[in-house]
Amino acid sequence: MVLSDLCLKQFTFFKNALNKNEEWATKFKDTSANIQYSGMLHGITRNLGLFSECENFVHETNSSGIGTFHGQHCLISYEADIDYVKRYKNLLLLYEYPSPMNKSKLQYGFCFPKSCSPEDINELAKYEILTQKQLNFVGTFCQTTQQRTEFKIFDYFAVLFFVTLFGLIISSTLYDVMKKRNKLAVNSNKLFTLFSVCLRVLAAFWIVAGHCIHLLTRIHFTENFNKFERETAVLIGFHLLAVETFLVIGGFLAAQSFMKAFKRQNFSYFKCMFKRYLRYGPAFHVLLLFFASSIANLTFNGPMIGELLRRQDICRDTWWAQLLMINDFVGMKCLSHAWYLAVDFKFYLITPLLVSLLMKYGKKTVGFLVAVVLIDYSVIFYCYLKDVIPYDRLYHESTFRIGSWLIGVILGYVMQEHNPKISKGKTLIGWIISYASIIGIMFGWSRYESREAYAFNQAMNSFIWSLHTAWIIYACHYLKSGGIIRRFLEHHMWQPLAKLCLSIYLTHYLFI
């Protein structure tokens, strides 16, 4: 182990003081995680230590050549050896669980002397800290309170932009209050407005709650994973299905909107696409500017700041992909939760073509789209079965999301052109089948005993949830059934929340 001169002196000085049980050395060591007793065998993947105490640690030494002893917090990443993992059920669960955290690194926070360079830290992490042979060193990220963010021209532009934006928001609000304009009456006849608003609000809140749980499991995986098998947490644990609600509603509304425009003969493709881009683009681009600039560095601080800086580099390198709404393929790790915006926009681009084919060829196009839906879910089943494509790609890329959108498009066409009615008896049977299926996939879930069962459930869960959403739209909005459920979904209280949905979805990662 080769260290720089001052780092070696200070680290040796610390170890000698620790052996003598000196108070300052004990406090310094207490700010670090302990790999040996970190709970790794219980599935704890991160032990961050005491970040603030380490950053603010200062000890004046009286020894010549040692100087003032400052702390710097370093997040060290290790990976468990697969042969060791197989010996323990809880660790094996980390590697079996199908999510982007699959095979995640084990991370521990340690406090080192500020005089140690990144190269010194790597040496210490490999040979001094790592005492367990079953762990393999991956890398480190260190920071101190003395580190300063260097502003560039781009960062000054970002600051000017946000100051101007904030000023416009304040002045516009004051102007609106002073004018006391009468609010326009709400057009209650707008297509599906109140109904879709409620579904989208509930889905958005479900996703946010699910993301909170997801991040919690990354700290103490096994304990929180086991909670997913309890009925009290299954509703939050299945937040991934809420995305299917957005896709079905999006396809449904897009199909009906384009069909009406075609019939009025005032359809403009580029105008529609531009309006759609403006719906998501500005809010998304403001968030992108915030993350790509150094403002984020000044706003946030903590042991996980290294992950933010890595995302910042990705955002700066792939800003063009974010603007073109292809971030589900390129630069997805910049703002990983914004993949849905790209998927939604691409599906919206092709919907006019699908609607024109539906209006021209009718049942033939419906049959073709049904076949595409079945093929899509069959491909998803195969990919999960053979593990040929990583989970994050299966979940984020538009290629594997088209099925739910097409279900919405088909529903929109059938309701607009045919509006079929069914008897009350059949409607009741439809409700029973719909909710029985949902209860089955949510509360009948457990650890899958075979790869085939896991793959089948991953494909069928999304398919069933999409059909369930389509049934709610049809039964409540068109058949006027559902009773209290329909009245709940159509209540006006959802409108204020709906206006905040996009902003909440885009920014919620900043606060969890």
- pLDDT tens across 42-68, in order? 556 778 888 889 988 998 887 777 888
Q: Specify whether 104 is located in the same domain as 174.
A: no
Q: Specify whether 137 is located in the same domain as 169.
A: no
Rounded average pLDDT over 56-83:
82
Q: Specify whether 73 is located in the same domain as 182.
A: no
154 domain-assigned: no
Least-confidence region, from 24-38, 221-235, 333-347: 221-235
The residue among 200 and 186 whose pLDDT is bigger is 200
pLDDT attached to residue 184: 44
Q: Specify whether 180 is located in the same domain as 133.
A: no
pLDDT attached to residue 406: 96
pLDDT attached to residue 412: 92
Task: Specify the residue for token string 């042979």.
Answer: 133
The residue among 269 and 498 whose pLDDT is bigger is 269
The amino acid occupying position 337 is: H
Q: Specify whether 61 is located in the same domain as 176.
A: no
Least-confidence region, from 18-22, 96-100, 261-265: 96-100
| Range ranked top by mean pLDDT from 196-200, 430-434, 495-499 | 430-434
Query: What element of type H or E holds 300?
Result: none
pLDDT attached to residue 371: 96
Please check whether residue 502 is in contact with residue 280, taking contact to mean a CB–CB distance below 8 angstroms: yes
Taking the C-alpha atoms of residue 32 and residue 106, their distance in angstroms, rounded to an integer, is: 15
Taking the C-alpha atoms of residue 479 and residue 419, their distance in angstroms, rounded to an integer, is: 9
Q: How sure is the predictor about 93, in pLDDT bands with cuts at 50, 70 and 90?
A: low
Query: How many other C-beta atoms can be found within 10 angstroms of the C-beta atom of residue 162?
Result: 15
Q: Specify whether 169 is located in the same domain as 132.
A: no
Least-confidence region, from 7-11, 183-187, 195-199: 183-187
Of 98, 114, 143, at which residue does a domain stop?
143
pLDDT of 436 strictly over 50: yes
Q: Specify whether 112 is located in the same domain as 186.
A: no
The residue among 1 and 96 whose pLDDT is bigger is 1
pLDDT of 185 strictly over 50: no
DSSP 8-state assignment for residue 220: B
Beta strands at 58-60 and 68-80: parallel, antiparallel or unpaired: antiparallel
Structural domain total, the chain: 2
Domain extent for 109: 5-143
Q: How sure is the predictor about 292, in pLDDT bands with cuts at 50, 70 and 90?
A: confident
Query: How many other C-beta atoms can be found within 10 angstroms of the C-beta atom of residue 215?
Result: 13
20 domain-assigned: yes
Query: How many other C-beta atoms can be found within 10 angstroms of the C-beta atom of residue 191?
Result: 15
Taking the C-alpha atoms of residue 375 and residue 498, their distance in angstroms, rounded to an integer, is: 34
Rounded average pLDDT over 349-378:
94
30 domain-assigned: yes
Q: How far is CA 48 from the centre of its chain?
A: 22
286 domain-assigned: yes
158 domain-assigned: no
pLDDT attached to residue 407: 96
pLDDT attached to residue 353: 95
3-state class (DSSP) for residue 55:
helix
Of 143, 172, 199, at which residue does a domain stop?
143
Q: Specify whether 485 is located in the same domain as 338.
A: yes
pLDDT of 365 strictly over 50: yes
Least-confidence region, from 1-10, 237-246, 298-307, 389-398: 298-307
318 domain-assigned: yes
Please check whether residue 244 is in contact with residue 404, taking contact to mean a CB–CB distance below 8 angstroms: yes
170 domain-assigned: yes
Q: What is the pLDDT of residues 133-167, one digit of tens each?
A: 567 777 788 876 555 567 778 788 888 888 888 88
The residue among 95 and 273 whose pLDDT is bigger is 273
Q: How sure is the predictor about 390, in pLDDT bands with cuts at 50, 70 and 90?
A: confident
Query: How many other C-beta atoms can be found within 10 angstroms of the C-beta atom of residue 297?
Result: 18
Rounded average pLDDT over 452-460:
83
The dihedral sign for the CA sequence 286, 291, 297, 300: positive
pLDDT of 230 strictly over 70: no
Of 143, 174, 192, at which residue does a domain stop?
143
pLDDT attached to residue 470: 92
The residue among 63 and 7 whose pLDDT is bigger is 7
Please check whether residue 512 is in contact with residue 211, taking contact to mean a CB–CB distance below 8 angstroms: yes
Q: Specify whether 28 is located in the same domain as 75.
A: yes
Q: How sure is the predictor about 100, in pLDDT bands with cuts at 50, 70 and 90?
A: very low
pLDDT attached to residue 360: 92
pLDDT of 280 strictly over 50: yes
Rounded average pLDDT over 458-468:
90
131 domain-assigned: yes
3-state class (DSSP) for residue 362:
coil
Rounded average pLDDT over 323-334:
84
pTM (global) more than 0.75: yes
pLDDT attached to residue 507: 84
Average pLDDT along the chain: 80
